[in-house]
Amino acid sequence: MTDSVNQRVRLLAGRYEIGPLIGRGGMADVRLGTDARLGRRVAIKLLKPALASDPAFRTRFRREAQDAAKMAHPTIVRIFDAGEETVVDPHGNEAQIPFIVMEYVDGRLLKDIIAEGPLPEHEAVRITSQILPPLEYSHRAGVVHRDIKPGN
């Protein structure tokens, strides 16, 4: 879990070892993890504790996991698990922190590639041609990605 919470919880859902922070968004943080049962690296998305007490954010986060789990496309990250973990903050207060465990994909973010400078036209076309098919697939499945950007 994050910072103060992570100091107390090393194993999520009795199964996932929580590692370093690898991404941060408006709603959630993503940490590298290990599935202790299967011995594979995973990405663990944790709803930020400040938002976890809001039922609307919890519902939205849960729906994200359910929608993503419906996808079976070679270029869409697979969802392995989702749930909520009870944690105790440094003040002794209990909180439910929703999480999503997904496939970890090792590589570079498009935003980092773009930050290096303009791409040659053929490279921009190649990248775009890899982004469009999974978007079309998800739209046909009735799932609209609400946060398309180079960091995602």
Q: Which residues are catalytic?
A: 147
Ranges assigned E (strand) in 25-144: 28-35, 40-47, 79-88, 94-103
Classified as helix, coil or strand, 38 is coil
Say if CB 84 and CB 99 are below 8 A apart.
yes
Q: How far apart are CA 110 and CA 128, in angstroms?
A: 11
